[in-house]
Amino acid sequence: MYLYIKYNLEVGEWEVEIIISNNANKPIYEQITSQIKAMIMSGELQAGDAIPSMRALAKSIHVSVITVQKAYEDLQRDGFIETTVGRGSFVSAQNKEFYQEEQQRLAEEHLQIAAEIGRISNIPLAKLTELLTLFYQEDE
């Protein structure tokens, strides 16, 4: 069975969209985390914007508060949101740098694997560089 649910949430004056799929290869909390990160990086959510409380978000997307709590903990750990007891959660001002650092670290891990495969398989560095350049420019 495939479940694809699209929710529109009011955040301050804006409505944001969260899409949850039980057929995705990611747990629900990671789906929430990645979508909120994407909204922040795209500018849809700005520094200082309030995000829904854990309970409100859980209720509106029909998931456990614990699931949303895990997503918010990850967002806070990665510097995307700040939570203040009694005030709620807000988009952090320094989130883009954290996100770029996280993405660079992920790219480095994949490049390390590619380099190891290249060495083991005797694929010349120039060929790997050519492939990386091709993939990087593919959608331009």
pLDDT block averages, 10 residues each, the chain of length 140: 49 68 86 90 84 88 93 92 89 75 87 95 95 86
| List of residues 6+ apart from 47 with CB closer than 8 A | 91, 92, 93, 95
| Residue span of the structural domain in which 125 resides | 96-137
pLDDT of residue 65: 95
Q: Do 61 and 108 fall into the same domain?
A: no
pLDDT of residue 10: 58
d(CA 72, CA 36): 10
Domain count across the chain: 2
d(CA 42, CA 119): 37
Q: Do 87 and 106 fall into the same domain?
A: no
pLDDT of residue 5: 47
Q: State residue 43 phi and psi, 5-degree precision.
A: 90, 0
Q: Do 107 and 46 fall into the same domain?
A: no
**Whole-prediction pTM:** 0.63
